[in-house]
Amino acid sequence: MRDRIRSGVGRQEGLGKVELLEQERLVRSHYNKMSGQWGDLYTDEVTFANYNFIVRKRHVLGLFDKVGGRFLDAGCGTGDFIPDLVARKGQVTALDFAEDMIAQARARMAPRGLDSQVDFVVGDVTNLDFDDNSFDAIIGVGLIEYLTDYRAALQEFYRVLKPGGIVIATVPSIVSPFMAYETLVPKVKGVVKQMLTAAGLREPERRYYQRHFVPWALDRDLRRLGYRKKDFSFCTYGFSASKRLESFSLGLTRRLDRFGHSPLGMLATNYIVKAEKPGL
């Protein structure tokens, strides 16, 4: 997807087994339905949504310094990073839990002749079917915020990385005032809807969740799993949920994008971290 889930090992706080299975079902259904349009988010059309995806991709590839080797695109979606990884002389494995995303990725790579150069896999990032020390680099873009046990995925990434291998992950940053606001509003609306549902005034609504991260807390998780942080970046400024503020958000992102490594970058809605599995 580039924005994904797994019910897997462990539990999201406050969710039981039934809720976890429902979370997986809802996200899988949503992204299978979205598979036909997902690649359009990476086109050059100048909307805030598209620009967000394009800028995030540029930041990820700017941190990706591996040339040659075996690369895993975890949560590959419709394959928007595949040509770039192949161009870096990588043996690419593209993995997603949504079958339709994998089908779309394969179909989109075929006209470029890349479908035969990539191993497409429907799989689970918290239980990877690869040997230890298999990959030189892993990217997880718009992935771990949808996982019920994101630490299990990071641990699996660590296991299948070779010593000296890197992982680059993106997450929404709750430290951003823009993200904090956009998170608060749906929560307030959710409370109101729950009250109306309890009163019998509306039907129950089933929606999947999206986790939001404090950047330094994610860094701490990575350290505890054995990783060594190598680099980072912040990107995207504004209100993605507001069409009325799209022009403002697009202009703000363009002006502030160069501050990804500065304190001002903390205002950004996306945190991107690059971590290494230490060499032997």
- Residue 23 CB-density burial (10 A; 0-12 exposed, 13-18 middle, 19+ buried): buried
Residue 176 CB coordination number (10 Å):
24
Q: Residue 30 is encoded by which pair of tokens?
A: 């949503």
> Over the stretch 158-192, which tens digit does the pLDDT of each residue have?
999 999 999 999 999 999 999 988 887 555 455 44
> Is the pLDDT score of 80 beyond 80?
yes
Q: Are 191 and 127 in contact (CB under 8 A)?
A: no
Residue 75's nearest CA partner among 150, 1, 7 is 1
Q: How far apart are CA 272 and CA 169, in angstroms?
A: 6
Q: What is the mean pLDDT of residues 40-52?
A: 70
| pLDDT recorded at residue 185 | 59
Domains of the chain: 17-276 (3.40.50.150)
Q: If pLDDT is split at 50, 70 and 90, which confidence band does 49 have? A: confident
Q: Are 56 and 236 in contact (CB under 8 A)?
A: yes
Conformational region of residue 133, where left means phi above 0, alpha means psi within -120 to 50, and beta covers everything else = left
| pLDDT recorded at residue 8 | 33
SS3 per-residue string spanning 115-126: HHHEEEEECCCC
